[in-house]
Amino acid sequence: MTKINPIYILGIESSCDDTSAAVLCNGKVLSNVVANQEIHTKYGGVVPELASRAHQQNIVPVIQQAIQQANIDKKDLHAIAFTRGPGLMGSLLVGTSFAKSLSLALNIPLIAVNHMQGHVLAHFIDDETQQKPPFPFLCLTISGGHTQIVKITNHFTMEVIGETTDDAVGEAYDKTAKILGLPYPGGPLVDKYAQLGNPKAFKFTKPKVDGLNFSFSGLKTAILYFIQKNVKENPNFIEENLYDICASVQYTIVNILFDKLKKAVKDTGITHVAIAGGVSANSEIRKTLKATEAKYGWTTYIPKFQYTTDNAAMIAIVGHLKFLENDFSETTTVATARLKVQEG
C-alpha cells in the first residue's frame, strides 16, 4: 500500500466581518477557527472600517490558534490559501497582506482563492458526514451578498445560469428582521421564529422575473409597506403576529428560490443539486431541499453548518485542490472587491 504524503494547507478568510483560519491535511479539516465581530450588532449591519480594524486585531491570534489546534508547526505548511475576493476591500486587504508576508517568510507558495468558489467547493472537504457531489452538479449559492444558481462542470469550471438582478436573499432576511425590530444579524432569528408560526397567515406576491434570475428588492418593499399599514391600524401588530409574519416571509422566500431551482434542473437535466453560502444554514431551505429530493428524484448535497457561513476551511479546500494542480499565485496578486464566481 502506497503511503500518501501529507499536504498541509493554511486557509485565511477575511472577506467580511469574520476572521478565520483553518489547517487542512489532504483535504481533511484539522482546525477551523472563526473570530466573530460583535461590534457590528449595535449598528444593525457591518461597518467596513470597523471590520478591517477588527481583522487586524484578530488575524495573528486566530492563525496561531488554527496551527496549534492542528498540532503542527508553521514550518510543516506546504502553502497558504487566502481569500482574494469578493468582499469588503479593507477586510480583504488584511488577509491578503498577511498571507503574502507569511508565504514569503516561510518560503512556501501562495494561493489566491475566490470566496464564492470556496462556498461551492466546501462540499469537497474530506468529511465522512458529508457526501461529495459528482460532476456536473447545480449549486444554489445563497448569502448576504449573493443569490446564484451555478452549474459546476469540474472543480474550476463554473457557470452562473441564474442570479439576482438586485438584492441578495440574505438582505431580504436581514431587512425583514430590521423592519420587525429584531437585532442584527436578523436572518437566523426570522428562521427561528418562522418555525413557530403559520406560513400561510399572510400572503406576499412573488416577483415575476424571466429565466432563472431572482429579484428580492420588490419583496423587501412589499414587506415594509405591509408592516407599516398594519402597525398604523394596530400598534401591537408586530408583537401579536411576529411568528406568523416570519413564517409567511420565509415561506415566500423559500418558494421563490425553489421555483427557480426546479426550473434549472428541468432546463439542464442535472439532478445532482447542492446548496452553499451562509443562508444555506437556514432550516426551512434545508428541509425543503430534502423534500424536493424525495418528490422529484434529485440527489441533494447539504454542507455541515460550520462550512456554510464564512470560514477558512472552505478557502483551504480550494487551496488544496489548486495545490494539486500547481496553480499558485504571485505576490503581486491584488485583492478584488468584485469577483465573479467563474474568476479564479
Q: Give Cα separations from 66 to 1, 16, 63, 190, 321 (angstroms).
A: 31, 19, 5, 32, 20
Residues 61, 321: Cα–Cα separation, whole Å: 26
For residue 13, give the C-alpha cell. Answer: 478568510
Q: Which residue has the cell 443539486?
A: 273
B/e letters for 72-88, b = 16+ CB within 10 Å, e = fewer, are bebeebbbbbbbbbbbb
Q: Is residue 139 packed enough to be buried (19+ CB in 10 Å), middle (13-18) or exposed (0-12)?
A: buried
Cell 413564517, residue located: 247
pLDDT truncated to tens, each residue of the chain (344 aa)?
A: 455 799 999 999 999 878 999 999 999 999 999 987 565 465 566 666 677 787 688 999 999 999 999 999 999 999 999 999 999 999 999 999 999 999 999 999 999 999 999 999 999 999 999 999 999 999 999 987 889 999 999 999 999 999 999 999 999 999 999 999 998 888 899 999 999 999 999 999 999 999 999 999 999 999 999 999 999 999 999 999 999 999 999 999 999 999 999 999 999 999 999 999 989 999 999 999 999 998 999 999 999 999 998 999 999 999 999 999 999 999 999 999 999 888 87
Q: Which amino acid is at 134?
A: P
Q: What is the rounded CA–CA span in Å between residue 241 and residue 259?
A: 27
Q: Which residue has the cell 475566490?
A: 114
If we measure between CA atoms, which residue out of 122, 128, 147, 126 comes closest to residue 312?
122
How far is residue 211 CA from its own chain's centroid? 23
Q: CA–CA separation, 252 vs 135, rounded Å?
A: 31
What pLDDT was estimated at residue 50? 75
CA angle 139, 289, 185 (to 5 degrees): 80
Burial of 51 (0-12, 13-18, 19+ CB in 10 A): buried
Residue 98 host element (H or E): helix 89-106
pLDDT recorded at residue 40: 47
Partnered with residue 80 across adjacent β-strands are 10, 110
Q: Estimate to the nearest angstrom the gap between the alpha carbon of 316 and the chain centroid.
A: 15
CA distance 32 to 16: 17
Q: Which residues contact 239 (CB under 8 A, 6 or more apart)?
A: none
pLDDT of residue 342: 83
- Report pLDDT for 79: 98
Q: Side chain identity at 315, as an amino acid letter?
A: I
Q: Which of 27, 14, 22 is nearest to 57 (CA)?
A: 14
Which residue carries 457561513 as its cell?
Answer: 309
User: Cα–Cα distance between 117 and 276 in angstroms, integer?
Assistant: 10
pTM recorded for the entire structure: 0.94
Work out whether strand 272-276 and strand 299-301 pair parallel, antiparallel, or are unpaired: parallel
- Judge contact between 117 and 318, C-beta under 8 A: yes
- Rounded CA separation 165/167 (Å): 7
| Parallel, antiparallel or unpaired: strands 8-13 and 299-301 | unpaired
Cβ neighbour number for residue 182 with a 10 Å cutoff: 21
